[in-house]
Amino acid sequence: MAVRREIDMSSQEFLEELEKTKKFTDKVCKQFGWVYNPNEDVNEGVIMGLARHKLMYGKRFCPCFMVIEEDGKFKSADDRICPCKPAIEKEIPEEGKCHCGIFCTPEYAKEHSK
């Protein structure tokens, strides 16, 4: 049986994982030619959620989807591990942003910046 951990979001462990996750999302943007959402609150919330899931479940499951336990392992109910297949193949090309909203096309970001 998989064990879900409780996370102290002010702990050194969490702050270090948060920094690693920020580097990870920077790399994803660069790899796919995406940019961050112009709304910083969205980005901060998603990055914190990704870091929390990495510590709790061992993977950066998208924070906008349920994580379930199946056969003693954790998995995203929608198979959403960042950057997820639906975002890469459908959401970003068609809507300009992923479901969680952190990754956007440059065009989407420009259109939605304040």
Cα–chain center distance at 84: 9
Number of domains in the chain: 1
Spell out the alpha helix ranges (H) of the chain: 12-32, 40-57, 85-86, 92-95, 106-112
- CATH no. for residue 62? 3.90.460.10
Domain enclosing residue 46, as ranges = 33-112
Q: Is residue 52 part of a domain?
A: yes
Q: Is residue 25 part of a domain?
A: no
pLDDT beneath 50, residues of the chain: none
Q: What is the C-alpha to C-alpha distance for residues 4 and 35, in angstroms, rounded to an integer?
A: 32
* pLDDT given for residue 4 in this prediction: 65
Q: Is residue 98 part of a domain?
A: yes
Q: 43-76, pLDDT tens digit by residue?
A: 999 999 999 999 999 999 999 998 988 888 888 8
Angle of CA points 93, 42, 23, to nearest 5°: 80
10 Å CB burial of residue 57 (0-12, 13-18, 19+) is buried
Task: Give the pTM.
Answer: 0.91
